[in-house]
Chains A and B, each alone.
Chain A
Amino acid sequence: MQPILQVKDLQVSFQVRGGEVKAVRGVNFEVGKGEAVAIVGESGSGKSVTAQTIMRLIPSPPSIIKSGEIIFQGNDLTRKTDKEMEAIRGKDIGMIFQDPMTSLNPTIKVGKQITEGLIKHQNLSAKEAKEQGIEMLKLVGIPNAESRFNQYPHEFSGGMRQRVMIAIALACRPSLLIADEPTTALDVTIQAQILNVMKDMQKKFGTSIILITHDLGVVADMCDRVVVMYAGKVVETGTKWEIFQNPQHPYTRGLLRSMPRLDQKKNEKLIPIIGTPPDLIKPPAGCGFCARCDEAMRICEQVDPEVTQLSDTHMSRCWLLHPMAQEVKSS
C-alpha cells in the first residue's frame, strides 16, 4: 500500500525560559491510503505536537522543527512556505479539534464557514458552494440543513458543532483528516454519534484519518493501526489487533491493564502505571519509560532501546525484546 503520509525522524522542541522542551524526539510513522491510524499517548507524550506540526499549526518560535521530514503525497511539508501550507490546509488535509466551542468563528454564519474553503480551493461559484455546503451538512447528519446553513455557531449544541467541524474539514474532500481528540469534550451518547459520522465519511470518501486520542475504547472502535507515543517517542506501532491482543511494550501493556473493563469481575484491582511522565526539559538518558516501568533493567537507564521489528506491521522499542534479555530472564 502506498502511504500518503510518511513522518520520518521528526524532532520538535519548544524554547521556554530555562531551556528547551524536547516535545517530539524522533518520531517515525506512516499513514496508508484510506487507513485510520490512531496516535495514543498521555498529555505531554507529543501526540498533539506531532499532529499540529504536520499541519504546521504551531507558531515558531517558540517551536522549532529540529530535524525530520513530513512527506505528504511526495512533498516534504517541513520545507513548505506558510503560503504554500495555506493551499494545502483545508484542501488536501482537513483538521478537527477537541473543542468545538472555540474552533468555529462565533461571528460568522456556519454556512459561510463551510463554503469559504470550497470557494477558495475549488473555485466554485457562491451558488455551487452553497449547494455543496448544504449537501455536506446533510451528510454529517444535521437536520434541516437548509435553515441551519444560515445560523451562527452559538445556535448549535456541542455535538452539532462537532458535526459542522467535520463538514468543514471534509468539504473539499481532503485525502487526509487529522482529528485531535474530536470526542473528548463530548458525552458518550454524543461521542457514539460523532464516531459513526466519521466512519461513514471515511467509507464514503476513502479519506485517510489520523485520530489523536487517549481513549483506547475509541481506538478499538475506529482505527486500523495504532501508534503508541510516550515521552516524545513512538514506543510501539501495530495493527489494532497486535496492539490490543499482543502488546509488546510495557507502557502499552500498562495502559491496557490500568483501564477498568465492564466485563471485569468486582474487586479485581486495577494495576496502575505508577509515577508521572518525565520532564522533557531534561529527558532521561535511557528509555523514557524506565522510571515507571516495573520490568526495567539496568540497560534501560543507560541506553535508549532501538526499534525491534516483530512483524511487517508490528514494531516496539524495548530492551526486553533483546535476545539477551530473554536469556537472563530464563536463567
Chain B
Amino acid sequence: MSKNLIEVEGLSKHFDLGKGRILKAVSDLNFQIREGETLGMVGESGCGKSTAGRTILRLYEPTAGAVRFNGTDITKLSGGKMKAFRRDMQMIFQDPYASLNPRFTVTDIIGEALDIHNMAGSRAERKKRVEELLDMVGLNPDHATRYPHEFSGGQRQRIGIARALAVNPKFIIADEPISALDVSIQAQVVNLLQDLQGRLGLTYLFIAHDLSMVKHISDRVAVMYLGKMVELADSEELYANPRHPYTQALLSAIPVPDPEVEANKERIVLKGELPSPINPPSGCPFRTRCPIATEKCALEVPALVEVQKGHFAACHYA
C-alpha cells in the first residue's frame, strides 16, 4: 500500500457570526489520503464539505487541528514557506463562470501561477507552457488570447483544470467540479481528470453531491453530515454495504436513470430537513431525521469507529 500524502487530524473550522453565535462548519475531521488515490467526499449542501476542502488548503485558517502534507504540518507554516507548498496543492472550483477572472485572457489566467512562482523565464516560455497545458486539457491553443465568457461551461472548467496543473501539483482538491455542467459535458471532465491522474500521478480529493459520479471516480468515499464525517469506506464497499442510516437514505434517494430500477425501488424518504449548523442537535447530528434513533443517540456522540476492516462509521447501531 502506498504512503499517506495527506493526513488530516482533528481538523475543525468554526465561523464566529457575532453575538455569541458560532457556526461549526467542520468539526474534528480525521482522515488520510494515500498517494495516487482519489478520495470522494459527499454530502448535502451545508454539510461542510467545501469548507473542509478550503480549510485543508488553508484558504480558511483552521480553528483547530493539523493538516500534514508529506509529513509537514502546513497549518503552522509562515507566509514564505506556505507559498512554496501552494505549488504542490491546487484546487478546481465549482462554478466555471465565477472562478475565472473575466478581465483576463486565458493565457493570463493559466500563466498567473507561473508568474507567482517565477516558473517561466521569458514571455515565449510562458506562452509555450500555456499552450502545452491547453493541449493537455483538450482545448485549442489558438484560443489562448480569448476571454473566459467566450467559452462554454465545460471548456471553462478545462481552463480551470489547466490553471491548477500549471505549477505541477501533487495534490488537487476538486470542489464540485462538475455540478454546474450539463450531463453530456460532465463525463468529458471526469474522464479528463482520470486521464490526468494516470499521466501525472495526481492525488485527488473529489468533493461532490452527486453520489453516482463520486462512486465512479473515487477509490474511497467519505460521507459528511452537518460538519462531521459519518462514514468512510472503499467506494464499492460503501455502496454495496452502507452502515450509517444517513448513507443508506442518501443512496436510496438517488434517482437511477433506468425506469425498471425506479419502478421496483423502495425509497427511504427522510423526514424533515437539515438542522442548522449554528445550533446542531445534541449527541448524534443525524438523530433528528434518523429512522432508528433512540435515546442513546441524543445523549452520546457516536465516534467514527472501524466497523469492518477499512470501513468506518459513526453510528451507535452500525
Contact = CB atoms under 8 A, between A and B. Distances in A.
| A touches B in complex, CB < 8 A | yes
Interface of A: 42-43, 157, 159-160, 187-193, 195-196, 214-221, 240-241, 244-245, 251, 254-256, 258-262, 264, 266, 269-274, 276-277
B235 to A, nearest CB: 7
B250 A217 contact: no
Interface centre among B152, B187, B209, B253 (most CB of A within 10 A): B187
Interface in B145-195: 152-155, 182-188, 190-191, 194
A272 B182 contact: no
B253 A191 contact: yes
Contacts of A277: 152
B216 interface: yes
Given A159-B273, A272-B191, A276-B152, A259 B254 contact: no
A237 to B, nearest CB: 15
Given A160-B273, A189-B250, A269-B191, A258 B186 contact: yes
A108 to B, nearest CB: 23
Interface of B: 44-45, 152-155, 182-188, 190-191, 194, 209, 211-213, 215-216, 235-236, 239, 249-251, 253-262, 267, 269-270, 273-274
Contact of B257 (A193, A196, A261, A272): A261
Contacts of A274: 188
B234 to A, nearest CB: 10
Contacts of B270: 189, 192-193
A221 B255 contact: yes
A276 B209 CA distance: 24
Contacts of A269: 191, 194
A270 B255 contact: no
Contacts of B251: 262
A217 B256 CA distance: 4
Nearest to B251: A262
A244 B261 CA distance: 11
A188 B258 contact: no
Contacts of A254: 184
Contact of A192 (B256, B267, B274): B267
Nearest to B270: A189
A330 to B, nearest CB: 29
A189 B253 contact: yes
Interface pairs A-B: 6 shortest CB-CB = A217-B255, A272-B187, A260-B216, A42-B182, A187-B44, A258-B187
Contacts of B155: 276
A244 B262 CA distance: 12
Given A214-B182, A258-B187, A272-B187, A220 B249 contact: no
Given A159-B273, A220-B255, A42 B183 contact: yes
Interface centre among A42, A160, A241, A255 (most CB of B within 10 A): A42
Contacts of B215: 260, 262
Contacts of A218: 255
A220 B154 CA distance: 25
B183 A220 contact: no
A25 B186 CA distance: 26
Given A42-B182, A187-B44, A270-B191, A220 B212 contact: no
Contact of A195 (B44, B45, B212, B255): B255
30 contacts: A42-B183, A43-B182, A159-B273, A187-B209, A188-B250, A189-B44, A192-B267, A192-B269, A193-B269, A215-B183, A217-B254, A217-B256, A217-B257, A220-B256, A220-B259, A221-B255, A244-B259, A245-B260, A255-B184, A260-B187, A260-B213, A260-B215, A261-B212, A261-B256, A262-B211, A262-B254, A269-B191, A270-B187, A272-B185, A273-B187
Contacts of B190: 260, 270, 272
A196 B269 contact: yes
A190 B256 contact: no
B187 A216 contact: no
Contacts of A219: 257
A188 B253 contact: yes
A90 B293 CA distance: 42
Contacts of B254: 188, 217, 262
A240 B261 CA distance: 13
A187 B262 CA distance: 19
Contacts of A262: 211-212, 215, 239, 251, 254, 256
B45 A272 contact: no
A43 B184 CA distance: 10
Nearest to B239: A262
A226 B137 CA distance: 34
A142 to B, nearest CB: 12
A260 B214 CA distance: 9
Contacts of A187: 44-45, 209, 274
Given A261-B212, A262-B211, A270-B191, A220 B258 contact: yes
A159 B194 CA distance: 34
B257 A259 contact: yes
Given A188-B254, A215-B255, A261-B258, A157 B187 contact: no
A187 B272 CA distance: 12
B149 to A, nearest CB: 13
Contacts of A251: 184
B240 to A, nearest CB: 10
B273 A157 contact: yes
B16 to A, nearest CB: 23
A245 B269 CA distance: 27
B188 A272 contact: yes
Given A42-B184, A271-B187, A276-B152, A256 B257 contact: yes
Contact of A260 (B45, B212, B260): B212
Given A217-B255, A217-B262, A271-B187, 7 more contacts: A188-B209, A189-B269, A245-B259, A259-B212, A262-B212, A262-B254, A276-B185
